[in-house]
Amino acid sequence: MRTIIEPFRIKSVEPIRCSTRAQRERALQRAHNNLFGLHAADVLLDLLTDSGTGAMSSEQWAAIMRGDETYAGAISFDRFQASVRSVTGFEHVIPTHQGRAAEHLLFGLLGGPGRVIPSNTHFDTTRANIESGGARALDLPCPQAAELHSDEPFKGNMDLEALERVLRSGASGVPLVMVTVTNNAGGGQPVSLANLRGVRALCDRFRVPLFLDACRFAENAWMVRSREPGQESRSPREIARSFFDLADGCTLSAKKDGLANIGGFVALRDALIADELRARLVLTEGFPTYGGLAGRDLEAIAVGLQEVLDPDYLEYRHASIRYVVERLRARGVPVVWPAGGHAVFLDARTFLAHLDPHEFPGQALALELYLEGGIRSCEIGSVMLGRNDPATGVLQPARHELVRLAIPRRTYTQSHMDYALEVIEAVWMRREAIPGVRISKAPAVLRHFRAEFERVPARAEAAR
Ligand SMILES: Cc1ncc(COP(=O)(O)O)c(C=O)c1O
């Protein structure tokens, strides 16, 4: 059959509150034009993030009832550890309450002043955790990552030549190399197995450990299967394992491909580092057999890590994202191409070509999608990743101005995707009248979460 269906039946439903444009305008005012400030009830289609927003399966809910809440030595930890080991092959498994806690733990130990941590592209929380400890987070995406509309299948790859230059000039200051699969900040694009082998070879040559930020390891494996010659007959589990086999460890937010609503972990081979991480874990997260999680959360993750590798699930997931991306592209809407693993990324710089980066086109477009149809999306552009020069205050724009419509796992259906398409097209039709925004208030780090914005009139309107 040509139609790829959702490979599940719905057992429990949650109502969505429909709203009028006037209601959404008021809600946006209350939120100071920051979509993170909206109340959930005021959002019709919540595509802010795919993190922790997925629907759990009946098996996961059943596992939750088995949760063992014993403080030390919980049976749930055994099941969690066995599941992580079976997928990753890493011996030491350290649970944390979510991905950034795993990052905080790892970089608290291995980062610090004078250190440099290269990556294909660090996610914002990873960067913040590295930089808050005094180390430098260095992005080395492959050159093709900059071409948002080309057919290149592996735009998540790392630039191997650039990595070699960094390692050659000072490998002693590089405690580890990190590869993010898939590359979230770079458009959810996959990393090829060939590229990771190249990174591994360099890490071996310069004796530097390799870690994965493996939040979306299964989605990456599926795209490798579909796009990398020689991988088409391997299962997602085998491909994912090839990735983990090339690494010394990983951090993982279980809120993505763990198919859980909370949780994360660090997993690695090195017993000494693992011991030190466990000692630190007790200070902030909890005892090593639960980290920052309840026993029931460990159970949900243990099941989710297995379910996510089901080929039927992965095929449906990618088909639904491809469906939106292909239709937008056919209608001329600028969208990151090829389709990534967890989200549709609109190219706001081209979409709102009349706005300059300091007018934050990504934020402007995200606000418009909300006003038009109650869709909450996320700016990944100069608000999130741009920097203001400390001396002059002038904005150094981000490489791209993207709006991410992240698709929660197993949560929305085909008709929700059709609705999203209709809203995006309506905004596209009146794009030239869309005003820019300016930041009226912003915290020093991770400003996109709590910044306040004002809409500035479109230039044509202002000149009138
Ligand atoms: C690539 C990547 N790394 C790390 C994180 C942080 O994970 P968490 O939100 O669980 O702290 C995220 C979250 O979106 C992510 O996308």
pLDDT digits (tens, 9 = 90+) for 50-78: 999 999 999 999 999 999 999 999 999 99
pLDDT of residue 388: 83
Model confidence at 32, pLDDT cuts 50, 70, 90, reads: very high
Q: What is the pTM of this model?
A: 0.94
pLDDT of residue 460: 52
Neighbours of 430 (CB within 10 A): 10
Question: Residue 187: CB partners within 8 Å, gap ≥ 6?
Answer: 145, 148, 155, 156, 336, 340, 345, 400, 402
Q: What is the C-alpha separation between 149 and 230, in angstroms, rounded?
A: 25
| Token pair 């498994």 in the structure block, residue | 93
* Average pLDDT estimate for 338-353: 96
**What's the CA-to-centroid distance between 433 and ligand 1, angstroms?**
34
pLDDT of residue 24: 98
pLDDT of residue 185: 73
**What's the CA-to-centroid distance between 123 and ligand 1, angstroms?**
7
pLDDT of residue 184: 79
Residue 99 in this model has a pLDDT that exceeds 80: yes
**Is the CB of 123 inside a 6 Å radius of any atom of ligand 1?**
yes
Among 249, 185, 166, 238, smallest CA distance to 212 is for: 249
CB 297 within 8 Å of CB 98: no
Which tens digit of pLDDT belongs to each residue from 357-396? 999 999 999 999 999 999 999 999 999 888 888 888 888 9
* Average pLDDT estimate for 118-132: 93
Model confidence at 192, pLDDT cuts 50, 70, 90, reads: very high
Q: What is the C-alpha separation between 137 and 126, in angstroms, rounded?
A: 8
Percent of the chain scoring above 90 in pLDDT: 89
CB 113 within 8 Å of CB 171: no
* Average pLDDT estimate for 200-229: 98
CA atoms within 13 A on the CB side of 450: 5
Residue 464 in this model has a pLDDT that exceeds 70: no
Which residue has its alpha carbon closest to ligand 1 atom 14?
51
Task: Supply 170's token pair.
Answer: 């000072």
**Is the CB of 96 inside a 6 Å radius of any atom of ligand 1?**
no
pLDDT of residue 447: 86
**What's the CA-to-centroid distance between 54 and ligand 1, angstroms?**
14
Average pLDDT value over all residues in the chain: 95
Pocket perturbation via mutation, ligand 1, pick of 53, 120, 125 by most ligand atoms within 8 A of CB:
125
CB 218 within 8 Å of CB 188: no
